[in-house]
A and B are shown apart, each in its own frame.
Chain A
Amino acid sequence: MTRFRSPAVRACWYLSLAILAVPFVFPFLWMLSSAVKSQAEIFSPALSLLPETWHWENYAEVFRYQPFARQYANSLYIAGLVTAGTLFISSLAGYALARIRFAGSGLLLLVLISALMMPEEVTIIPNFFLMKQLGLMNTHMPLILLPMFGSQGVMATFLMRQYFTALPPELEEAARMDGLSRFGIFWKVALPLSRPALAAVGIITFLYSWNLFLEPLVFLSDIELFTLPLALSNFTDAYGLPLWHLQMAATSLAVVPILVVYIAAQRQIVESFALSGVKG
């Protein structure tokens, strides 16, 4: 425990942190409060966190306005699939790049690293035509394939490789003596040891997929197929004027569950980042 030199110092310390926290907390509070206001009250000039009358029906209206439950499920299953898939292939490749000596591995690593920082905006146009040719327009496949194999997948592979490189090789030797195959060593020894890295990479990947906006915007046209970010940007009246009360209710629904999971698991999340070597 840090000890404060005097109560005054302590008060200053907490006060300055609290002021810094305002722009991080206030948007959530304002969002939750606007979600239960009427559209008319939202525009009234009186600034109040508590609504005059509570419009809980805004939440029900969100589901009437768009197939929001379906869109929520889309986002969850896509992010889940992308995370599981990325973890599997990136740990497999990361392990090989760290532990197995094979011709071309150095070159491959170099090529992958050079792609590490390339945003999807660079390749979105050709990928658009590629997906068209594969008949995957207006499906979820681009949203699954591109994060797994684009720069995000490369990033995951690189992080896994870094972690495996730092793992003491002695741990594997024993398994090798026992006659385990390479895959056996990977699956039964290396992978269980890399839990912190898997957790960190998993979280990064999940959030990446969860946040994805450009890809759904370009590849999806059917409202039933929308993911949350796209659905959230869609709460306007027929002529494009934002319906702020529904907008805020929907945003609350999208944000709060993830926030709760995060708060419940925040210690593990911070630890996994600390242990994983993501720090570089």
Chain B
Amino acid sequence: MKAAAIRPPIPLRTREALVGWLFVSPVTIGFLIFFVGPLIAVLGYSLTEWNLLSQQSSFVGMDNYADALGRNPEFWTVLRNSLVFAAGLVPLNMVLALTLAVALSRPFRGVVIFRTVFFAPVVTAAVAWAIVWTFLLQGESGAVNQGLALLGIDGPNWLRHPDWAMFAVIVTRVFKTVGLNMILYIAALQSIPRDYEEAARLEGASGWQVFRMITWPLLAPTTLVIMVITVVGSLKVFDHIYLMTEGGPENGTLVLAFYIYEQAFEFFHVGYAAALAVILFLLIALLTVTQVMLKQRGGPR
């Protein structure tokens, strides 16, 4: 205790707090500089008219938001496209992921090969995947339509038809990403104890009933995570659009993330693009919170 009189030791709690902050400081400082700061800045930018090329800017208040929400009919097309994209991609992705996971969670001869096949696009660069599919989906000479022609089907000009283009981009994107969700579902399925299912089976439940009453509820936490990730992933899709359709035809695949890029870096409207970024931010925040709340009201996790 003598030493303490000379130099009081730093109390344990303070020392812990110091160590704690020291541990989190790299992430926190970087996060403040490269995320929080820019987020505040983008709010500021959104109130200006700012030309990227001439670097001149002036304060215009809420004009950019008024442009987006009121004056520019393009914006509503973009918003609609983004939601159509998400509404098409998310269910398709999740149903396919779950189906594949259920099929491939139990061992059978060749299961590893199939898992590998369905996961392979995940480890493939998205750009590569989009490029190859653009190649496959060319009008008449593309491999897809040539294949369909063998079956007697006259395929559409996939990437040049406003409705089919959206469909094609969604489906190829699902092929690219479904493997990851499948693996997450497989991991979840394998962590469900076998006895639950066997007990239900002994009571005479059918396969579908077992899935409906036991497996599906137990998968709920995984489903929530997958859903949030997939919804957000669908709203930030950029490379597929950039490479496959550039937002066309007739703006049929012009989605928010690509629209922001195009406005800022191709048409030099920094202020307007920043306002769009803020809207994207709000949209994602809203969707994430809604999903989590809906799920929590649905029952305890």
Q: Which of B1-29 contact A (CB under 8 A)?
A: 13, 16-21, 23-24, 26-28
Residues of B within 8 A of A137 (CB): none
Residues of A within 8 A of B236 (CB): 119-121
Q: Which of B202-252 contact A (CB under 8 A)?
A: 221-222, 224-226, 228, 232, 235-236, 238-239, 242-243
Number of CB contacts from chain A to chain B under 8 A: 275
Give A263 to B41 CA distance when docked, in angstroms: 44
Pick from A23-31, A52-60, A62-70 the stretch touching chain B.
Answer: A23-31
Given the known interface contacts A20-B100, A96-B19, the answer about A117 and B126 at a Cβ–Cβ threshold of 8 Å is no
Q: When the two chains form their complex, are residues A122 and B280 in contact, meaning their CB atoms are under 8 A apart?
A: yes
What distance in Å separates the Cβ of A175 from its nearest Cβ neighbour in chain B? 15
Residues of A within 8 A of B53 (CB): none
What distance in Å separates the Cβ of B247 from its nearest Cβ neighbour in chain A? 14
The contact string, 1 if C-beta is below 8 Å from chain B, for chain A 259-279, is 100110011011001100011
From A129, A182, A255, A267, give the contact of B19 (CB < 8 A): A182
Report if B293 contacts A (CB, 8 A).
Answer: no
Report if B169 contacts A (CB, 8 A).
Answer: no
The contact string, 1 if C-beta is below 8 Å from chain B, for chain A 109-123, is 001101101111111
Report if A251 contacts B (CB, 8 A).
Answer: yes
Q: When the two chains form their complex, are residues B232 and A122 in contact, meaning their CB atoms are under 8 A apart?
A: no
The contact string, 1 if C-beta is below 8 Å from chain B, for chain A 98-135, is 00111111001001101101111111111101100000
Report if A89 contacts B (CB, 8 A).
Answer: yes
Is the contact region of chain B dominated by helix, strand, or loop, or is it mixed?
helix
Residues of A within 8 A of B150 (CB): 47
Report if B116 contacts A (CB, 8 A).
Answer: yes
Q: Which of A144-175 contact B (CB under 8 A)?
A: 145-146, 148-151, 153-154, 157
Report if A201 contacts B (CB, 8 A).
Answer: no
State which size class the interface on B falls in: 35 or more
Closest to B188 in A: A279
Closest to B32 in A: A149
Q: When the two chains form their complex, are residues A130 and B273 in contact, meaning their CB atoms are under 8 A apart?
A: no
Report if B147 contacts A (CB, 8 A).
Answer: yes
Q: When the two chains form their complex, are residues A130 and B38 in contact, meaning their CB atoms are under 8 A apart?
A: yes
What distance in Å separates the Cβ of B164 from its nearest Cβ neighbour in chain A? 16
Q: Which of A95, A112, A121, A218 counts the most chain B CB atoms within 10 A?
A: A121
Is the contact region of chain A dominated by helix, strand, or loop, or is it mixed?
helix
Report if A6 contacts B (CB, 8 A).
Answer: no
Q: When the two chains form their complex, are residues B42 and A117 in contact, meaning their CB atoms are under 8 A apart?
A: no
Give A108 to B32 CA distance when docked, in angstroms: 11
Given the known interface contacts A47-B147, A125-B277, the answer about A95 and B239 at a Cβ–Cβ threshold of 8 Å is no
What are 27 A-B contacts with C-beta separation under 8 Å? Answer: A4-B108, A24-B117, A27-B133, A43-B141, A45-B141, A93-B24, A117-B228, A119-B232, A119-B235, A121-B277, A124-B260, A130-B38, A150-B34, A150-B35, A154-B31, A183-B19, A207-B123, A210-B125, A211-B125, A247-B135, A254-B125, A255-B128, A266-B116, A267-B112, A278-B187, A279-B184, A280-B224
Question: Which residues of A does B touch, CB under 8 Å?
Answer: 1-2, 4, 13-14, 17, 20-21, 23-28, 30-31, 34, 43, 45, 47, 89-90, 92-93, 95-97, 100-105, 108, 111-112, 114-115, 117-127, 129-130, 145-146, 148-151, 153-154, 157, 182-183, 186, 207, 210-211, 213-214, 217-218, 228-230, 232-233, 244, 247-248, 251, 254-255, 258-259, 262-263, 266-267, 269-270, 273-274, 278-280
